[in-house]
Amino acid sequence: MQSIVILGATSAIAEQTARIYATRGDALCLVARDDAKLEIIKSDLEIRGASKVTKLSYDLNHTHLHQALLDDVIKALARIDIVLVAYGTLGDQKKCEQDFDETLQELQTNCLGVISLLTLFSNYLEKQKAGCIAAISSPAGDRGRQSNYVYGSAKGALSIYLQGMRNRLYNSSVHVLTIKPGFVNTPMTKDFKKGLLWVEPDVIARGIVKAIDRRKDIVYLPFFWRYIMLVIKLIPESIFKRLSL
């Protein structure tokens, strides 16, 4: 049995991931800002087989509460095997271009707040000399594009932060996983026109669990995004800047 804390447990991807752990009989600590949604997910996971489910209501942007949050998690779980960071917002790129406060808000949610949490949790796992930190970043962080470079730079910074932390925690046997999902049909992307490359969140969830089990470093989900991003990264900047991406 493993103990898993999910930060942003009401995300569609997180919910599907939690179901997989629940059917394995694991203990889950769910953190999100909406208590009513948490309650709905909690009873579902208990029925699916989770050995214990605790819910904690926190707005994760409130970094001054992160220490209290960690304390609550430890109280709930006794030991932490997996920390999954799943919250995020896609933001409004156009608005961000006009308004720095908006940009700051996006960076706060998708990067700075996450870094605050990771600071606390990584130290805890480092002392434990075991465990896994898995965070959902995005291929959008692999290269800046006009359509979403604020979100992209937040995720890009997060990816590099995770990379460094992986390097640091290697000797403490703490596994750090960077997750880069492609197009996923979730509430975050409800206004997008869906095509062939889109997948449902349960597909991503299976990929996440597998990557955690196999102690992977960086995963693109589904796998083909790795090749798509390879091609995108290979395009020379002199050409890339002219594309409307």
Ligand X SMILES: NC(=O)c1ccc[n+]([C@@H]2O[C@H](COP(=O)([O-])OP(=O)(O)OC[C@H]3O[C@@H](n4cnc5c(N)ncnc54)[C@H](OP(=O)(O)O)[C@@H]3O)[C@@H](O)[C@H]2O)c1
| CA nearest to 4, candidates 110, 76, 109, 111 | 76
Query: Which of 12, 13, 30, 229 forms a contact with other proteins (CB under 8 A)?
Result: 12
Q: How far is CA 139 from CA 16, 46, 48, 215, 220, in A?
A: 20, 33, 32, 20, 8
Query: Which of 80, 181, 205, 208 forms a contact with ligand X (CB under 6 A)?
Result: 181
Read out DSSP for 74-113? HHHHSS-SEEEE-------HHHHHH-HHHHHHHHIIIIIH
What is the sign, positive or negative, of the torsion defined by CA atoms of 208, 71, 168, 7?
positive
60 binds ligand X (CB under 6 A): yes
Query: Which of 20, 24, 33, 44 forms a contact with other proteins (CB under 8 A)?
Result: 44
Residues 139-158, one symbol each (x = binds other proteins by CB under 8 A, - = not), give --------------------
Which residue, 130 or 199, is less far from ligand X as judged by CB?
A: 199
Integer Cα distance of 187 and 189 in angstroms: 5
Q: Which residues pair with 181 in a beta bridge?
A: 221
Integer Cα distance of 77 and 109 in angstroms: 25
Query: Which of 103, 116, 122, 138 forms a contact with ligand X (CB under 6 A)?
Result: 138
Residues 66-105, one symbol each (x = binds ligand X by CB under 6 A, - = not), give --------------------xxxx----------------
Residues 211-240, one symbol each (x = binds ligand X by CB under 6 A, - = not), give ------------------------------
Neighbouring C-beta atoms of residue 203, cutoff 10 Å: 18
CA 81 and chain centroid, separation: 16
Which residue, 93 or 109, is less far from ligand X as judged by CB?
A: 109
239 binds other proteins (CB under 8 A): no
Query: Rule CB under 6 A: which residues touch ligand X?
Result: 8, 10-13, 32-34, 37, 59-61, 86-89, 109, 136, 138, 181, 183-184, 186-189
